[in-house]
Amino acid sequence: MPKNFLSELTGSFATPALENPTGVMMEAAYRDLGLDWRYINCEIQPDDLKNAVLGAKAMNWRGFNCSIPHKVSVISHLDDLGESARIIGAVNTVVNRDGKLIGENTDGRGFVESVKSSLELIKKRVVLFGAGGAARAVAVELALAGVANIIIVNRNQERGEELAKLVADNTSAGAEYHAWTKQYQIPAETDLVINVTSIGLFPNVDAELDIDTDFIKSSMVVADGIFNPPETRLIQTAKTKGCTTVNGLGMLVQQGAIAFEYWTEKTPSIEVMKAALSDALDITEK
């Protein structure tokens, strides 16, 4: 049997790519399973995206992630889309299936996976802050996972209303937009509160959501999409109220794990990925 020196290739196309730690957790998981796979973090300008995709196809890459600013524009270079990517209108993971490039979106499923052990989602009532790319993915996947209703709270009204309509038109969940009034009051019957805005993201770690914290009840599960730092102000406040909390590290690792499974058809170790990521980002969970 001749030796095989040909690694399988995966990677990421984004700009800026400098601070993207995904390769560290992916390669740790490849090594852990004894796979000779690589993850190449590429700095790709918008004008070069088409050639980058053609290059990946020519080199028989098994797949790649897309991040800012390519999640929407990559779609025109792909052969087909998975169901949730089609509804969300954005792709963060491309899978090479028998030479065809298929766009998937694992951001929202990653969030659903990360919250599932803390809350059974069927028929639950959700308040979601944000209406950007990640919020769209999270809202659509929560709806597909069976929540009853999602209230979208967003600073920009048009974007918020558009997301509520997207969920209501494409899934069986109810969805409505709430204007983000000063000291927003979370409805008492809410089961799950999620921040998918960039408020609190490093380096603005002291930034807080404009909400009346008296309306955070201990019965609510409170989650944050932000993973750097994992302990956002929102998570800290929710802990003092006695809530179960879910930080953004779980979402980051789980969306990567789902991409890993799409590419390799194997299940990675979440612990190995989480440890590699925490190490790379120099963060410790409290």
131 belongs to an annotated ligand binding site: yes
Q: Does 281 bind ligand NDP (CB under 6 A)?
A: no
Q: Which of 60, 198 has the CB closer to ligand NDP?
A: 198
- Which positions from 191 to 210 touch ligand NDP by CB under 6 A, shown as an x/- string? -----xxxx-x---------
Using the rule CB under 6 A, is 227 a contact of ligand NDP? Answer: yes
Q: Is 266 a catalytic residue?
A: no
**CA-wise closest residue to 69 among 87, 84, 51, 47:** 47
In the sheet with 93-97, reading across from the earlier edge strand, the strands are 37-43, 8-14, 63-66, 93-97, 100-104, 80-81
- Nearest partner of 104 among 259, 249, 225, judged by Cα: 259
CA gap 83, 81 in Å, rounded: 7
Q: Is residue 108 part of the contact set for ligand NDP (CB under 6 A)?
A: no
The letter for the amino acid at 228 is N
Catalytic residue among 3, 50, 57, 71: 71
Q: Which residue of this chain has its Cβ atom nearest to ligand NDP in the complex?
A: 132
Size of the site for ligand NDP (CB under 6 A): 24
CA distance 97 to 134: 25
The position carrying tokens 């038109």 is 169
Residue 107 C-beta: closest distance to ligand NDP, Å: 5
Q: Are 36 and 7 in contact (CB under 8 A)?
A: yes
Residues 6+ apart with CB under 8 A from 19: none
Closest approach, Cβ 250 to ligand NDP, in A, equals: 8
Tokens coding 226: 């932000």
Nearer to ligand NDP, 135 or 150 (CB): 135
Return the CA Rg of the chain: 19
Could you say whether residue 133 binds ligand NDP (CB under 6 A)? yes
> Are the CB atoms for 103 and 94 separated by under 8 Å?
yes
Instruction: Give the C-alpha separation, 97 to 81, whole Å.
Output: 12
- Ligand-binding annotation for 134, yes or no, is yes
Which listed residue (131, 145, 151, 216) binds ligand NDP by CB under 6 A?
Answer: 131
279 is in an annotated binding site: no
151 binds ligand NDP (CB under 6 A): no
Question: Using the rule CB under 6 A, is 248 a contact of ligand NDP?
Answer: yes
The footprint of ligand NDP (CB under 6 A) covers 107, 110, 130-135, 154-156, 159, 196-199, 201, 225-227, 248, 251-252, 255
Annotated binding residues for shikimate, written as ranges, equal 67, 92, 107, 255
Catalytic center residues: 71
